Amino acid sequence: MRPVLFVLSFMIAGCGTPLFRPYKCGPVLKEKDIQIFEKVNAFLDLLPGDTYADIGASSGYYDGAMSVFLDSVDFYIQDIDRECLTEKNLKRVTKYFGRFRKSPDTNRYHAVIGEDKKTNLPDGIFDKIYCNATYHVLQYPDAIIADLYTRLKPDGALYIRDEFVYDGQTRYCDSKQCRNLIPQHKDFLAVMERNGFRLTDQSDDLGDYPIYKFEKQ
C-alpha cells in the first residue's frame, strides 16, 4: 500500500481534487505533474522489452504516470489492497494516463494481489522491480525481500525508494493512514545483504530521498 504522502512531494503541489475521479486510490495527476517520472524512468533504466514490477503500487497510478514515457514494457502492478488494485481500476488508470501519451500505448499491464509474506509474482522473469515508499510499511521485510530475490532474473535489479533514519533518530511516518516507524538505514541494508543483495548505485534525491539500486550478490 502506498500513502499519498510518499508520492514525489514536489510533484503533488497544485494537483486539485477533481469532481469526478477517473480512478480509485491515489492522486489524480495533471500532465505538468508527471514530468518528474522521466527522471525516475531514467534511473531505473526501463527499456522496451523489459518485464517490470512495482511492489505496493496501490491502484497503479504511479506506474500509469511512468508509462507515459515508455513503450513495450510489461508492467506487473502488485499490492495487497483488493479495493484499490483491480483489473477494472487498473484499466481506468491506464486510460487516464494514456491521454498524455504522444503515441499509442504499447505497454502491457497486469494486476497481482500479494500477501503479507509473499508477492505472488511469477518467478524469475523480472528485469527490474521497484518499491516506492513501500519498504517502511512491510510487516515482514525479510520475507518480502527474499521473495523478490526469486522473482528477478539473475542479472535483474531491485530498486527501493523510501525514507530511512540514522543512529539516534526515531521518526514515524507522517501519513495518518500509516504512522509506521521509519526504519533504520543500517537495518535496511542488513536486510538486503542477508537476503542476497548488494547495493550498486544510488540516485540523487527525488522528492526528499533517493532510489537505491540493488543487484544479486
What are the tens digits of pLDDT across the range 29-66?
999 999 989 999 999 999 999 999 999 999 999 999 99
Span 151-170, pLDDT tens digits: 999 999 999 999 999 987 88
Q: Which of 8-12, 68-72, 146-150 has the lowest mean pLDDT?
A: 8-12
- Find the domain containing 40 and state its range: 4-216
Please count the structural domains in the chain.
1
User: Average pLDDT, stretch 97-119?
Assistant: 97
Q: Which cell is 186 given?
A: 543500517
Residue 8: predicted pLDDT: 47
Instruction: Compute the mean pLDDT over every residue in the chain, rounded to the nearest whole number.
Output: 90
The band of 11, judged by pLDDT with boundaries at 50, 70 and 90, is very low
Q: How many CB atoms lie within 10 A of CB 186?
A: 12
Terminal CA-to-CA distance of the chain, rounded, Å?
28
Q: What's the whole-model pTM score?
A: 0.89
- Residue 19 is predicted with a pLDDT of 57
Please list the residues that pair with 158 across neighbouring strands.
129, 214
Here the cell at position 29 is: 495527476
CATH of the domain at 130: 3.40.50.150
